[in-house]
Amino acid sequence: MDLTEYVQRQKHVVAQQSRAVRDFTVFDYNYIPEKPFIRSESKQIIDAMLRFDVSGIATNFAVIGSRGSGKTLTMKYLARVVPAQTDLSMRYVNCRHHNTSFKILARLLNKRCTGLSLDKLFEMFSESITGKTVFVLDEVDLMSAKDKNRDILYLLSRSEKPVMVIMLSNNPHLLRELDAASKSSLQLVQMHFANYNAEQINAILLERAQKGLVSYDYTEVSEIAAMTTKKTNSDTRVAIKTLYYNVTEPQKSVESCFENARKDIVIDVINDLSDQNLLILTAAAQNKSDLTKNIYDLYCRLCRSQCEKPFSYVYYYSNLGYLQSIGLIALVSTKFGRTYTNRVVLTFNHSILFDTCRLRFSRVPAPRS
């Protein structure tokens, strides 16, 4: 094929596809709407921040909710509006990217801190706090297993400076995993961000459509919202990506745009998994039995083949909860003998998993198709 000719032709195709879009930023997952849909749960957090502003007495939160339930967006939006109207500062760190207490502190200090002890680093960090500050620790469950006690939480809870902590997580078992000392000093208030319903996702999509699209079809937008709540864990990312495909590839049906969006997002989610979670999923995909206990045995064998230390059964089980919260598996309760146990059902095509494993590991065999 003549490459020049191809580029010319495709340029025309892309220009045609882009005609319906006025502003592509509305499809960026980091886009923060001027007036996002505010869920009622956020009000409790806002009230606690305002009390902290007046009294200096902090309420610390653990916000739990499925992927795409608006945890990150809500905090980023509050960081935009609350400090502007109060004496509070807000600092945000994503623990996926800064996955140890040391790295989190270095990030907050904006410094390379090699050679320092964690205590010294925390001392420097404490000195840098000049006023009432809210720290948002996003994806706190993704901190490295090397920092199992999440020392940063204990240090923050013991800080003499006026600090408030808001941690965000997809993992419903987060609180169970935190160590007792930090949990009791932080006195965490647990808050659950429920999955959005179709009407709420519809409102989120309409805001984006009104800002970013030249024209759109109301019926199709509500179809996307309904599909997202019915076929995913109400993951708003899938809805936004479906809308994007729907306007840029108008010849395709809403269903096919939705399936493409869902597939893209599953690939992203699987690529972002830790090695351990990838091995758990691989064991679930390969094992003849789908019972959690039997999958655990294969998972341990796979870990050994990768020279990784397997999680304890309890920790493995809590990671299954996490994999469910990000929509990759469903845990289905089944009667087994006289008791109940869980079956693990994978919610996506196994081949996607295989592709990621091939890139990540040298010796993991292909999942069953």
Ligand X SMILES: Nc1ncnc2c1ncn2[C@@H]1O[C@H](COP(=O)(O)OP(=O)(O)O)[C@@H](O)[C@H]1O
37 binds ligand X (CB under 6 A): yes
228 binds Mg ion (CB under 5 A): no
In the shown chain, the binding pattern of residues 46 to 75 toward ligand X, with x for contact by CB under 6 A and - for none, equals -------------------x-xxxxxxx--
Identify residues 100-119 at the interface with ligand X (CB under 6 A).
none
Closer to Mg ion by Cβ: residue 11 or 97: 97
Closer to ligand X by Cβ: residue 139 or 151: 139
Which position among 98, 173, 237, 343 is part of the footprint of ligand X (CB under 6 A)? 237
Calpha distance 176→139 (Å, rounded): 15
Which position among 143, 204, 298, 300 is part of the footprint of ligand X (CB under 6 A)? 204
CB of 209 to Mg ion, least distance (A): 23
Which position among 45, 93, 137, 240 is part of the footprint of ligand X (CB under 6 A)? 240
Binding at 29: pick from ligand X, Mg ion, none (beta carbon under 5-8 Å per type): ligand X
229 binds Mg ion (CB under 5 A): no
In the shown chain, the binding pattern of residues 175 to 214 toward Mg ion, with x for contact by CB under 5 A and - for none, equals ----------------------------------------
Calpha distance 66→228 (Å, rounded): 13
59 binds Mg ion (CB under 5 A): no
The stretch near ligand X (CB under 6 A) out of 33-41, 279-287, 312-320, 346-354 is 33-41
Write out the two tokens for 185: 């000093």
Binding at 292: pick from ligand X, Mg ion, none (beta carbon under 5-8 Å per type): none
**Nearest residue to 165 via CA among 198, 140, 201:** 140
The DSSP bridge partners found for residue 91 are 135
Calpha distance 68→73 (Å, rounded): 9
| Residues 6+ positions from 324 with CB-CB distance below 8 Å | 330, 331
CB of 141 to ligand X, least distance (A): 12
**Nearest residue to 311 via CA among 334, 279, 339:** 279
**Nearest residue to 76 via CA among 101, 51, 42:** 42
CB of 70 to ligand X, least distance (A): 3
- Taking each continuous run of H as one helix and of E as one strand, the counts in the chain are 16, 7
Write out the two tokens for 367: 């999942």
The stretch near ligand X (CB under 6 A) out of 51-59, 100-108, 178-186, 232-240 is 232-240
29 binds ligand X (CB under 6 A): yes
CB–CB of 248/17 below 8 Å?
A: yes
CB–CB of 98/13 below 8 Å?
A: no
CB–CB of 159/189 below 8 Å?
A: no
Calpha distance 306→195 (Å, rounded): 36
Closer to ligand X by Cβ: residue 32 or 314: 32
Write out the two tokens for 330: 């469903």
First to last CA, the chain: 35
Which position among 42, 72, 246, 286 is part of the footprint of Mg ion (CB under 5 A)? 72
For binding to ligand X (CB under 6 A), which residues are involved? 29, 31, 33, 36-37, 65, 67-73, 204, 236-237, 240
